[in-house]
Structure 1
């Protein structure tokens, strides 16, 4: 076997039905077939003719449910895409033509360049808004009956165009009936936010009258037509509701690559009156602070206010007799319990505590611990209970209820991971645990173990979820100011990330000590900010060198992050997004290392690629990096494109060449999304604004497109002729997976300098 391909057949018949050559006698719904018998001792009479007719549509009152395969959309679907046609599949490939009393018919197409051949199916699929239809079942049971206005149904004379067979076979092998399914399509233009009723009904009047008796009619006439209401047997029925308008392709085409404004990644901090005896160089001093993400290549300016830095150094280092309140010295337990900063120190501990931007990040983490303290402490006690040694009593009861509810996002689902290994000798830990538990029962408390001893609970979830729960604006400040349908590029801010993680560990250690938990104060409880399968984890905080720079422990450098704002990923959460480049015809892929959401309409995806590496010229023979946004589709779809939008100043780049798929090779979609009166260059260009489709609820065969032959897609060798047969129709309206390629250079290349007036 060299591969697998898919092909369409306009009809498929077996047995005596395959031998039918014309219509049955007038007034009959059954086709006669020549038949006879020959007796061994017939006295020379030869073959004796025996009258025989085939069962017709009037002999059927139902379909075996085992024949019904895929329903598209599925029954009860709450958010079907209105851009695609509903359909039903049958296991037996001959079923739609099995009881058809006619043979093959033919007629010339307009222009006389081709002759249409077709077999009229005895079944059709109709789809009607549920509010305009009723489905009733007789008290004695039997076949349900659909009643609706005839104007809601497709042209009964064109049902032949929307019934076909799909055959999957080995490349190079002849097409056979094996691995084949029959399919009925309803070519209705669906509206968004509407509940629909889909029914398989008879296409012949004989089939209708077998269940819904009425005035005498020609059994070969269509089952519906004209004005007024119609009643039809519903052999198969299901319902679905469409979601908001817009297909994956149309939503991708709305996206516009935009640069993040340099101001969008920061917020001003008023630092003129910090309190605690600290002061700035001026009373109205401000500092711009970036969040966990920031615009590519836009760094925070260094703090130039030496007065503020030194006064903060003094405030956090103040000591004297008695008890004195002072600002927290974040991270002091990871530098051997230091209680003061050294004069003119330049390491990570000094930067964290003397730069107001870093102190704010650590303070946000302390706030997150305060908000989520009950869940965090419960998890710590749970881990301690499963460690060595096991306490013989339950952990202390909670003193107060959580003020803000549960932790949101992936943090809550991953908070109860495996317990971290015990740090420190077991006897000391056992004594501390016993002391803490005994204190709750009136026995004198045992002193909390020193920082180097005790137990360190571990929280494997991404810490950014805690930040999102209390202050999502600090993930990417001013992200809400981005226009909808934006795709932008950012980078991680490692200094913010490390400041937040140190503050988180510092604050949780203090909370656990307050709760009389035998905590190892210099333990690392949180070591990952973004999460993901390949998440970079901080080395143990207690092992950081005093001279290390803040932000130097979070990986090789700031990673690029794609930011999408709009409805695309909310409507299509299974879309695939990755980075791609090609060398020697081999595609190199980079999948996201982490992802997350900011609010309901903004998604970010981080890649294991530093900004510096992304801006380097690619090796010889290698294409530059591009972003691929690809639709995830596991089944065949049919439909027409949404009407194009008005042209804008920054069109999305052309769709990418599709990936190789021998079973269902997608076809590249057109790049042009401009409003145009030109005829389509391929069937993939056809949309609902074409004059052939104007003001129609169902796609017609007759009209300006009849007899037109076009490529299936631009650059494709496959062609299809409109209204020639059902197989050609399937090729013309098939909707493959959509994929677009956006060069990273759109964001990484410096913007052009504005022209100077002459």
Structure 2
């Protein structure tokens, strides 16, 4: 049997293995209630011969069971310990194995296969569960008379056990052969008619007497006899009946009425003008108003938070409003020269409006309307009453929040110190630094600021830091490292060798590096090479460094000049003078230190003397020391030159073109963006940027690091405390609304604004009285409706009131999301939502009903019949008013919900939460026909004869006298089921499907 929704398929029974092979003509079980089957096995004998061997196989039966693995039980309904089970539902137990209830049954297969165990439910007061350590199982005991009344008829146990397959993706055979075990289960149902407010015990017990004997530890002598009634029947039974228990649990029922019964009681009933406001006589307001001579009665309507859509506009009696308002203004304002310590009526909202002593004539019309109207002053007084009734809890929360605020203020004071210290450091050490020095000094924070190589901030989506920008530029990152900074400091190893000012030299070096060039401003040793510039860019072109080096170094001055350019000053030229001076004339040798007399000699001899390092001086040969030094230096120079040329010739060859260089680094722009006023290191912004995210939000103006004033927040909805003070103030006239009613209301924004203003005003007074340092003009509570559970508020409930100090409109036009014409409130009065608080309630846009051919179904007047469509809206807020009123707010206008001019309006849908399958029979709502129109209309009156007091639904009854076949669901011709045909059809008949009711809004609204 298939569920019409296609979710479940019911099978009358399921067997696997040899048990499925028990033939219908099998011999009766033996005295141990076990089935014996002849089994023939063909055995190969030799190469070609075979032999049939027949043996009798004994299957396990109910007499072999002394326990049940409770891990097979996957669900007990109701759950153990339940105290509010609906009495019209049947208790049940589910097993993981789909064949378990029939696994050990000795009965042959057929339409009505009896299980080997059953679920019985007995009243707790007549049942005793006994555990005997000498027995395999505990047992239940009850008198024979109670057993006759409490136990079901075992001959019909086949009807209350079935298997289930979930979904329709696989065939029953595929689901039952183990391919999809998660889709199958088996179920035992107890068809007991439960009584309200009664405690019960549910027990799994054997169906066969052999199982009883095995469970009680007795010799198994029974065959296929049922466990009860005892031999001879109930009429002769006396004493105590004892049954072994495989599993048991307890539960208690609630009052009568399930979801279907309760939701069917609801009726849409429009509320009139008497709901939402109550008359208040202000004629006898007190001695302060006695001289006004108000005629009695002087009735003024007092409106609540919820009102009828049909409520008339609020009207003052003629000639009353102006004198009452003037007298109230005289009472609450303090005239000049009056002692301010005299107790006067409060000006509600005075702290928030910053007008503690007077009502402004212009600019804040809501303040005058609130304080000069007795009705709205009463609403504000209700807010003050709520604070007074809950002051201890509210103040405890305020002090707890103040403790958190003190920790935040401590952090802010530390941030102020950090800001001042950072400003002093910047003024002393960073202001006036050259760009290159500023960039080097700030290198440790480059990874925490975002700048491009040209010093501009990156785009909103760019995440590159200044460190990354430096790496991407031609400027080497190592030039910002600590070792490099130490090397080029004025007293460092490199700074001491820099020509001129060290600051200018390092600036020139940094500037060259930022452009991709290397300028080393170091004084070369006397005669050394001066490497002016070595870099990638030579002559405006990209040339390899080594190629440029090989072309440039041999032409350096150091290759040509060793001592000096002036030979007269003792200098000489590398490689000798190409035009040496003639030798001096020969003279006579003279005596003297270091002089050698040189005799006349031919010219060749003189040349030999010169070659020997002698120099003629005053006709004497002296040792040529400068020449010798020159020779040695020439040798050193020549060898160095040869080694350098050899090195350059054997250096590895390099490519002629280089990879594209990165952008240049603008040192002045980067330094300015870092250390100038308003730059990345500006203490006023950098410190605040890191701290303000960790503390409560700062005022829009002023120092962001100023310690915060304590402004406790109370995010709880304040509609609940109002209902606790007086339910009539939440919904005046609530007592006149009939039970089991559905009506449409609207939120009263003027009342809510007045109430929340009075509440915040009293909070300001109480916080000042308790000595909590706070801003009395703050809006401490800004939520009236309870929006918890709203799927649109996953990020947290929003504020429903803007800060009261910013209100400038009339009363009722300042707050948002609290009421008004754009917010419709559905009210449900009855026990339905109290019993089922998780009921789904939503609004569905009405669409025309379509027949099987896709054409609209016309109503009696020819217009389309509306039905709920796919467009849905869920409640914005939800609340309750004791004892049995639930209200839900929708983002709908009354006109849109009603519909008209071709618009079909909206439905309100009340839907039961889907659960696991449940089975049962409805309680008769009244006189019922003998035969229902469909099985969905079946109730207890159709099962048992009128006036009978049956305890269990019997298959053999009025519906079985003549087999009754009906549609499973009302309004659908198919599928059908027959009462008592098999367990699958009985499951489909008693299956309780989730209920949904749709009520059109116009039926719950007053006529326009």
What TM-score, normalized by structure 1, do the two folds share? 0.82
Aligned ranges for residues 453-464 of structure 1 at < 5 Å?
454-464=709-719
Partner of 1:255: 266
Q: CA deviation at 1:38?
A: 4.4
Structure 1 327/45 Cα, relative in aligned 2: closer, same or farther at 3 Å?
Answer: closer
Q: Secondary structure at the match of 2:891?
A: strand
What is the rounded CA distance, in whole Å, between the counterparts of 2:60 and 2:283 in structure 1?
A: 92
SS of 2:331 mapped into structure 1: helix
Moved more, 455-464 or 41-50: 41-50
Q: Per-residue deviation at 1:510?
A: 1.5
Matched residue, 1:479: 734
Q: Distance in 1 between matches of 2:753 and 2:54?
A: 93
Partner of 2:379: helix, strand, or coil? helix
The aligned residue for residue 421 of structure 1 is 697
- Paired residue for 1:21, among 20, 23, 41? 23
> Higher mean Cα deviation, 180-189 or 325-334?
325-334
Change (3 A) 1:379 1:295: same
TM alignment of 1:38-53, pairs within 5 A: 38-41=42-45, 46-53=51-58
Instruction: State the distance in 2 between where 1:427 and 1:714 align.
Output: 69
- Partner-residue secondary structure (3-state), 1:121: coil
Match of 2:489 in 1: none
Matched, 1:522 2:780: no
Give 1:528 deviation, angstroms.
1.5
Contact 1:262/1:298 (CA < 8 Å) preserved in 2?
yes
Tell me whether 1:67 sits opposite 2:98 in the alignment: no
Give 1:101's match in structure 2, choosing from 99, 106, 113: 106
Output one character per residue of 1:263-311: Cα deviation in whole Å (capped at 9) or x when no partner.
Answer: 2322232322434834553354232212111122214522232221222
1:320 is matched with 336
- CA change 1:169–1:277 in 2 (3 A) is closer
Alpha-carbon offset, residue 143 of structure 1: 0.6
Do the aligned partners of 2:63 and 2:213 also contact (CA within 8 Å) in 1? yes
DSSP 3-state at the match of 2:36? coil
Does the alignment pair 1:550 with 2:812? yes
CA separation in 2, counterparts of 1:327 and 1:87?
Answer: 66
Partner of 1:367: 385
**TM-aligned CA deviation for residue 186 of structure 1:** 0.4
Structural mapping, 1:242-281, within 5 Å:
242-275=253-286, 277-278=288-289, 280=292, 281=294
CA contact (8 A) 1:362 1:501 kept: yes
CA distance in 1, matches of 2:130, 2:765: 68
Show CA shifts across 1:573-614 (max 9, x none): 111111111458951111111111111322211112233433
Alignment partner, residue 353 of structure 2? 335
Residue of structure 1 equivalent to 2:824: 560
Give the Cα–Cα distance (whole angstroms) in 2 for the partners of residues 299 and 501 of structure 1: 24
Distance 1:378 1:26 in 2: 77
Q: Tell me the residue number matched to 1:677.
A: 929
Cα distance in structure 1, aligned partners of 2:724 and 2:739 = 23
TM-superposed CA distance for 1:526, in Å, is 1.3
Distance change (3 Å), C-alpha of 1:548 and 1:300: closer
Deviation, 1:703, is 2.4
Structure 2 match to 1:57 = 62
Q: Structure 1 residues 530 and 741, CA, compared in 2 at 3 Å: closer, same or farther?
A: same
CA distance in 1, matches of 2:780, 2:362: 30
- Structure 1 pair 251–192 and aligned structure 2 pair: CA distance change class (3 A): same
Most deviating of 497-506 and 47-56: 47-56
| Closer/same/farther in 2, CA of residues 641 and 613 from structure 1, 3 Å limit | same
TM-superposed deviation, 1:70: 0.3
Name the SS for the 1:288 alignment partner: strand
Query: Is the aligned partner of 1:724 residue 2:981?
Result: yes
Shift of the alpha carbon at 1:62? 1.3
Structure 1 contact 278–315 (Cα < 8 Å) conserved = no
Is the Cα–Cα contact under 8 Å of residues 93 and 187 in structure 2 kept in the other structure? Answer: yes
Q: Which residue of 1 aligns with 2:117?
A: 123
Provide the rounded CA distance (Å) in 1 between the counterparts of 2:695 and 2:387.
20
- Tell which structure's C-alpha radius of gyration is larger: 2
Cα deviation per residue 1:158-213 (whole Å; 9 max; x = unaligned)? 10011100012434745521321010000111111111111111111111122237
Return the offset for 1:336.
3.3
SS in 2 for 1:263: coil
Instruction: Quote the residue 2:137 is aligned against.
Output: 143
In the alignment, the residues of structure 2 paired with residue 286 and residue 373 of structure 1 have an alpha-carbon distance, to the nearest angstrom, of 33
C-alpha separation in 1, matches of 2:172 and 2:768: 76
Distance 1:608 1:530 in 2: 13
Cα deviation code 1:45-71 (max 9, x no counterpart): 811222211011111111111111100
Select between 453-462 and 148-157 the one with higher mean Cα deviation. Answer: 453-462
1:628/1:741 contact within 8 Å kept: yes
Cα distance in 2 between the residues matched to 1:683 and 1:265: 44
Task: Find the aligned partners of 1:293 and 1:248 in 2 and give their Cα distance.
Answer: 27
Structure 1 residues 244-253 or 343-352, which shifts more? Answer: 343-352
Equivalent-residue separation in structure 1 for 2:85 and 2:966 (angstroms): 29
CA distance in 2, matches of 1:499, 1:104: 76
Separation in 1, partners of 2:189, 2:892: 45
> Deviations for 1:202-244, whole angstroms, at most 9, x for unmatched residues?
1111111222378997521111123245321111111111111
Determine whether 1:599 maps to 2:891. no
Alignment match, 1:611: 894
Name the structure 2 match of 1:494. 749
SS in 2 for 1:606: strand
Q: Is the 1:4–1:171 contact (alpha carbons within 8 Å) kept by the matching residues of 2? A: no
The 1:711–1:60 alpha-carbon spacing in structure 2 relative to 1, beyond 3 Å, is: same
| Count of residue correspondences | 660
Q: Is the 8 A contact 1:5 1:171 kept in 2?
A: no
Distance across 2 between alignment mates of 1:378 and 1:543: 28
* 1:439 counterpart residue number: none
Aligned to 1:704: 958
- Is residue 270–residue 284 contact of structure 1 (8 Å, CA) maintained in 2? yes
CA distance in 2 between counterparts of 1:98 and 1:389 reads: 69
CA distance in 2, matches of 1:458, 1:125: 56
CA RMSD of aligned residues (A): 2.8
Structure 2 match to 1:440: none
Show structure 2 runs of 5+ residues with no match. Answer: 411-693, 851-868
Give distance in 1, aligned partners of 2:953 and 2:899. 51
CA contact (8 A) 2:121 2:203 kept: yes
Alpha-carbon distance between aligned partners in 2 of 1:548 and 1:25, rounded to the nearest angstrom: 91
Aligned to 2:247: 236
SS in 1 for 2:58: coil
Q: Secondary structure at the match of 1:469?
A: helix
CA contact (8 A) 1:429 1:455 kept: no
CA distance in 2, matches of 1:77, 1:93: 26
Quick one: distance in 2 between partners of 1:419 and 1:200? Answer: 62
- Residue of structure 1 in register with 2:675 after alignment: none
Q: What residue number does 1:659 align with? A: none
* 1:396 alignment counterpart: none
- What's the offset of the Cα at 1:483? 3.0
**1:538 aligned residue (796, 801, 825):** 801
Deviation at 1:27, TM superposition (A): 4.1
Q: Distance in 1 between matches of 2:696 and 2:875?
A: 28
Distance (Å, rounded) in 1 between the aligned partners of 2:312 and 2:171? 61
> Is the partner of 1:240 in helix, strand or coil?
strand
Q: Which runs of 5+ in 1 are unaligned?
A: 106-116, 393-417, 431-452, 646-674, 752-758
Residue in structure 1 matching 2:394, options 376, 385, 408: 376
Match of 1:33 in 2: 37
Aligned to 1:690: 942
More deviation, 480-489/511-520 = 480-489
- Matching residue of 1:183: 187
Matched with 1:715 is: 971
Could you report, residue by residue, the CA deviation over 1:607-639 in whole angstroms, capped at 9, with x for unpaired residues? 122334334537x5x532111111113200101
